[in-house]
Structure 1
Amino acid sequence: MPRPRPLSQEELDQLRAELGAGQQPTVWFTSAAVGVEAGRSGRVVDLGDPADGDFIQVRPTGSKDVLSFSATEVTMTKPERKKKAAGPRGGRAAASVAAAATPAPSVEAAVAPAAQEAPARPATAPPAPTRTTPPAPAGAPAAAPTSATAEPARSPARRGGRKPAEPPAVVVTLTSTSEGEWTVEVVTGKKRAVRGLSVGPGAVAQAARALHPEVSSAIETVLEAARERQRARVEQLQAELEAARRMLAELAE
């Protein structure tokens, strides 16, 4: 059996493009996949760093778990379906034709000579026919062995199976400027999900009050310093406005 071909760089780029577009592309598991039946399909939910080995996050069809696989354990080529063997209906028809072609033994032929030689002797009852087990129809599945040497069923999971992939860690960073402006960044695992998103000071103050008192105190200190700077600026602008009004009044006279 040929070894499964790993996903090429072009196929990995195609998977990343479909994930970036909000899709979950379909892949199929190869014979190298551990804990999953070969030929089974699944949905790709995320792609990590190829240096990690099992960097392809896949949810198998019919399962809620997300498992990690390498590039040799999945393929984008849909496997061919196996041809089904002849069903029991065809086997029954063949058995019926074979039974019709074989003549059944005649009971009358066995007792006819005895009746001619001794007509006065009462006829004895014919022996009861012996029931035999008919042969299994062609194409029908063979019966399971019942002896103690029957091969035990193999467990589909090898090496204890795979554990569901753990959710990635999330890091949220708040940054303030000297003017009292705030931005937030969010990193999920190794992926930067949000970069430099502007957040109003009011929203930051409301979130700070719901956090630990030490965190709230540190953020409140920064917010209070920004308020003082804005008050000073307002007073300066008001003084400049008053000066401009006096100058305008003098010019009007």
Structure 2
Amino acid sequence: MSPLSSDELRSIREELKAGTTPTVWFTSSAVGVQEGRSGKVIALNEPAEGDFIQVRPAGSKDVLSFSTAEITQVKPPRKKPTPEPAKPAAKAPATKPNQQAGSAASEKPAEKPAAKQAAPAAKPRPQTTAKSGESAAGRRTPRQTKQSIGGAVVTLTAGEDGQWSVEVTSPKRKLVKPTQVPANAVAQAAKLLHDDVAAAVEPLIEAAREQHRARVEQLRAELEAAQAALHELDG
């Protein structure tokens, strides 16, 4: 499958601006997603960021980042089902020999039947039970394999202006680019995680709080000065 071209990328940007989510399919270069699986384009970041195409795979709630080589707008053909092997023809029943001789023998006078000998009783066959871990046909059932889950790194960053941001990355790609989060949410999360984490985060939040208090006092003083100057002009 051919990757996205510049014209297709331009068309996707126009569809996103119009409020639609274009459908794409994953190529063999896509990491962690099956080739031929479909998805919806949610957003486009700057191309300088590498994997800048945000796609939600079909049947998933996660939004992952991909490059132009990993997705395409060419729908893959449907796989034809494998035909079942033809069943062998049933054999015709064998004819009974000497049918004519039997009919001729029926015309002879009936003879006295000889005494029937008692047939020996058939011994019951011992029943065999399948061993643990084997099916009724004697084959071992396959063991279920656990699918490994890739790890991720969540990074919280405190800026000099008191703003906080969060970023999520995996060994293969950036899952969530730096996104601003409120300071009170960071403080609540730190308390839930561990006492040491809360103790490390609290001084940073307190410093940002003092910075905002100083800014409020400065703005209040500037407002009072502006009001005094206005009264003088009105007087």
Q: TM-score, normalised by structure 1?
A: 0.50
Instruction: Specify the alignment match of 2:168 in structure 1.
Output: 186
AA of the residue aligned to 1:82: E
Distance 1:249 1:16 in 2: 73
Equivalent residues in 2 for 1:103-182 (5 A)?
Answer: 104=99, 106-107=101-102, 109-110=104-105, 112=107, 115=109, 123-125=111-113, 163-182=145-164
**1:107–1:126 Cα contact (<8 Å) kept:** no
Distance 1:247 1:16, change over 3 A: farther
Distance 1:104 1:166, change over 3 A: same
Q: Secondary structure of 1:178's match?
A: coil
Q: CA deviation at 1:126?
A: 8.0
Q: CA deviation at 1:192?
A: 1.6
Q: Secondary structure of 1:236's match?
A: helix
Distance 1:230 1:77, change over 3 A: same
Equivalent residues in 2 for 1:232-243 (5 A)?
Answer: 232-243=214-225
Q: Secondary structure of 2:99's match?
A: coil
Distance 1:196 1:230 in 2: 23
AA of the residue aligned to 1:173: T
Q: Secondary structure of 2:86's match?
A: coil
Q: Secondary structure of 1:210's match?
A: helix
Q: CA deviation at 1:21?
A: 4.5
Query: With CA pairs under 8 Å and 6+ residues apart, which has the higher RCO, 1 or 2?
Result: 1
The answer to whether 1:82 aligns with 2:117 is: no
Distance 1:235 1:176, change over 3 A: same
Q: Secondary structure of 2:222's match?
A: helix
Equivalent residues in 2 for 1:10-159 (5 A)?
Answer: 11-13=27-29, 15=35, 18=38, 20-23=55-58, 77-78=79-80, 80-86=82-88, 91=90, 94-95=92-93, 98-99=94-95, 104=99, 106-107=101-102, 109-110=104-105, 112=107, 115=109, 123-125=111-113
Distance 1:106 1:223 in 2: 111
Distance 1:201 1:238 in 2: 23
**1:183–1:199 Cα contact (<8 Å) kept:** yes
Distance 1:169 1:21, change over 3 A: closer
Shift >6 Å, 4+ stretches: 152-157
Q: CA deviation at 1:206?
A: 0.9
5+ residue gaps, structure 2, are 4-26, 40-54, 67-77, 117-136
Distance 2:99 2:105 in 1: 13
Distance 1:200 1:112, change over 3 A: same
The answer to whether 1:224 aligns with 2:186 is: no
Distance 1:205 1:83, change over 3 A: same
Q: Secondary structure of 2:204's match?
A: helix
Q: TM-score, normalised by structure 2?
A: 0.53
Distance 1:106 1:126 in 2: 21
AA of the residue aligned to 1:104: Q
Instruction: Specify the alignment match of 1:4 in structure 2.
Output: none
Distance 1:16 1:108 in 2: 72
AA of the residue aligned to 1:85: K
